[in-house]
Amino acid sequence: MEQIRVVVHGVVQGVGFRYHTRQIAQQLGVKGFVRNQPDGTVEIVAAGTQAQVQALLKWAHQGPASARVSQVDTEPYTGTEILDSFTIEH
């Protein structure tokens, strides 16, 4: 299992990014969560096989049609939460 934390920069809030991320993650079988950050970015925590996580990461570089992604930062995720579904956090 691979676990990563992703921070997506650009026009990514108010464009359905979290909703679409959850849809794609659920289709891929990825567990984790997505949430808006106060600085205007979107944070994604994803857990799954390497192929599943990489597919979600590839999608995050583009996002939904109304998003304008300018940068995507990734790092290993070392949190202790139990990731058993994919949710939108507020």
68 is catalytic: no
> Of these residues, 5, 18, 22, 35, which one is catalytic?
18
SS3 70: strand
36 is catalytic: yes
Q: Other C-beta atoms within 10 Å of 64: how many?
A: 17
User: Angle 40-46-35 (CA atoms, 0-180°, nearest 5)?
Assistant: 25
* 9, 70 Cβ separation under 8 angstroms: yes
Strand-pairing partners, residue 10, are 69
Catalytic residues: 18, 36
